[in-house]
Structure 1
């Protein structure tokens, strides 16, 4: 019996070791705060950190040890189920974060610490990144990304459908009704990172986003259907967006 237990323990250790040595795919994620997947890139590819939350396998790059230590938010990130806590104090631009909510912000230039919100504050319409002073508050509930606005009203993130296979970015906006149907998709937390997936689209990176200013300079938010930091559409910037649970939205 002792030999059988020892044998099982050895097999488990070997399995864990094999998992740790797994190779990330070309252009795939290989590190970042909270990352628990493979950190080794294919031959001829190097793991390059684009920010503290994300590292990617890039062709011909010099390998560098990626950051994989878990993130430590000051309070729990908004939950994946239940009902949002609504309050008139949960308006876009509120200075104090309500319990159970999160601010959501970018952490990469040129949009460093720009915060997710509505283009016209607290209303349905385009999703944009903007000033910390006008930051909205969010929860992810049953796969829906929910923005809380004055008077207890909720706005739901919706993503436009992919018109055809050549479309590489999908615009995100806010609606007064939950996303539904074939194009609804699912929002989720991965550590403190916001991800989006849908069964009809095979995305190489679920946390890849784009910020593309419109003609008026508003920083519109898009789902990036391609790889992060690769073949970026003209005029756009690659971003990952993250929960921030400090007491106030800081620059």
Structure 2
């Protein structure tokens, strides 16, 4: 009988290599977990797609899925597509006109990324004036920057307008209306706007919000899409008639649908 003196050694090395590979793969999977309220999927997303235990990756639109409370974790379900009428498929459709104003250096457009307000853009209800903050057409999108905690609209390329948030009347109020003013808020009433990646957040020391990037869009009697700070739990305490949104910077040359 032929004797293999090196067989035992080879087998042990193979087993060790297999154990090392399994351990490495387990480590990678453990690290590939999105944070609570973090993005976990969407077209073009290359980051983590698994949520922590007790959280579910919830599809908001074809381009954005988010870890929200509830469930046992996991990846988002496949996104569905709809026919575009031309024999192919499309994930969204719109008839809104593109903007024609070129984005200025140091500024961003700001837009929603979820239905029913997908790619509607932040602006003034009465364009370029101190009026309610609304979402509207890309054709009339305003431009913004955040400086020293102030969200500033560059109205007409010359006159700055400042985002102001109404004071909270009492602890039962779950949404605060945002408007534009010629003067910024100051003192205890002034909250702080900030970027988190490309997402707009707002905080104030006197209010403990479960999610700093949670917004509400609520149509008024005239159909204007008024923008509010959402003080409640995102997607779980949505006031009647409103839609939960996150709003994001867009730095393309012009506002697009």
TM-score (norm 2): 0.72
The correspondence for 1:175, drawn from 154, 173, 181, is: 181
Q: How far does residue 167 in structure 1 lie from its aligned partner after superposition?
A: 0.4
Aligned counterpart, 1:239? 245
| Count of aligned residue pairs for this structure pair | 207
Aligned counterpart, 1:134? 140
CA distance, structure 1, for counterparts of residue 202 and residue 104 of structure 2: 24
- DSSP 3-state at the match of 2:226: strand
Does residue 56 of structure 1 match 2:67? yes
Does residue 163 of structure 1 match 2:183? no
Q: How far does residue 94 in structure 1 lie from its aligned partner after superposition?
A: 5.8
Does residue 230 of structure 1 match 2:241? no
The correspondence for 1:31, drawn from 21, 32, 39, is: 39
1:123 to 1:227, Cα distance in 2 relative to 1, 3 A: same
Task: Say which structure, 1 or 2, has more relative contact order (CA 8 Å, 6+ apart).
Answer: 1
- DSSP 3-state at the match of 1:182: helix
TM-score (norm 1): 0.73
Aligned counterpart, 1:76? none
| Higher Rg | 2
CA RMSD of aligned residues (A): 2.9
Aligned counterpart, 2:96? none
Aligned counterpart, 1:197? 203
Q: How far does residue 42 in structure 1 lie from its aligned partner after superposition?
A: 3.0
Query: Which ranges of structure 1 fall in alignment gaps of 5 or more residues?
Result: 1-15, 67-92
Q: How far does residue 39 in structure 1 lie from its aligned partner after superposition?
A: 5.6
The correspondence for 1:46, drawn from 46, 52, 56, is: 56
Aligned counterpart, 1:213? 219
